[in-house]
Amino acid sequence: MKYALGFLLLIACCALADTASESSFPKNLNVITRTEWGANPPVAEMKAHKPEFITIHHTGTKQNPGRTVEDKLRGLQKFSQREDQLASGKTKPAWPDVPYHFYISVDGKLAEGRDLKFVGDTNTEYDPTGHLLVTLEGNFQEEKPSDAQMKTTRQLVRFLAKRYKVPASKIGSHKDYAKTACPGENLQMLLPELRDVVKATKTQ
Ligand SMILES: [Zn+2]
């Protein structure tokens, strides 16, 4: 009986350990994990990397407060994992998973995207190896990031910079590395503010 109980405890502990390793984010970040939004597994192998940069994007689509972030992530994953036509007329290949590591919706909710251990994807000419890709919902050539979005972005950038020892000089946007309008003027102008957040945070 004693052994049986010990065995059961062992199983229970392993199950708990599994849940913990799946999303090792601090509670106060309120990350909606892949399990929580109902992610499918990646459909192809991905390249491992060491995170060194934090790189900000916009989705390039209009902010939609009427749809849940879980639903937006499922939609993004469906689009990501198939070959599809882009607005530019270019065709994108099927990617293994969503291209970004984090998604911040207009209401400031934060969802886990691709596993941070793996390189993201892009339609543009730069190598995203080493880049932690964070996208904010919206087209910031026309719209403005919401206060809730910026609050979450600051919290996330602070956390990532600390965990991966990313200096302020390596906080950038898509536009800093490739020929693109992403993340739009209205978000690009807030980049110095994000670098300040990191400068004010001890990385040790
Ligand atoms: Zn981008």
Distance CA 30, CA 181 (A): 30
Structure tokens at 63: 């902010």
Q: Across the chain, what does the average pLDDT equal?
A: 90
Average of per-residue pLDDT across 10-23: 44
The predicted model scores a pTM of 0.87
Do 198 and 168 meet the contact criterion of CB atoms below 8 Å apart? yes
Angle between helices 191-199 and 147-164 (to 10 degrees): 40
Give residues whose Cβ lies within 5 Å of ion ligand 1: 57, 174, 182
Q: Which amino acid is at 81?
A: Q
pLDDT at 2 over 60: no
Name the token pair of 38. 């109902």
Gap from CA of 61 to ligand 1 centroid (Å): 12
pLDDT given at position 124: 87
Pairing mode, strands 110-112 and 102-104 = antiparallel
Alpha-carbon distance of 143 to 141, in angstroms, equals: 6
Predicted local distance difference test score (pLDDT) of residue 177: 96
Contact 98, 139 (CB under 8 A): no
Please tell me the distance between residue 129's alpha carbon and the centre of ligand 1 in angstroms: 14
CA dist 197 and 183 (Å) reads 19
Mean of pLDDT values over 127-137 = 97
Report whether pLDDT(84) > 80.
yes
Residue 170's pLDDT is what?
97
Ligand 1 centroid to residue 178 C-alpha, Å: 9
How confident is the model at residue 174, as a pLDDT? 97
Answer yes or no: is pLDDT of 78 > 70.
Answer: yes
Extents of the domains making up the chain: 25-199
Which pLDDT does position 12 carry in this prediction?
47
Q: Give the mean pLDDT of 152-162.
A: 97
pLDDT band at residue 62 under the 50/70/90 scheme: very high
Selected from 3.40.80.10, 3.40.1230.10, 3.30.420.10, 3.40.50.720, the CATH number assigned to the domain covering 25-199 reads: 3.40.80.10
Place of tokens 């990397």: 49
CA-based nearest residue to 195, from 141, 154, 139 = 154
Rounded distance from Cα 148 to ligand 1 centre (Å): 20
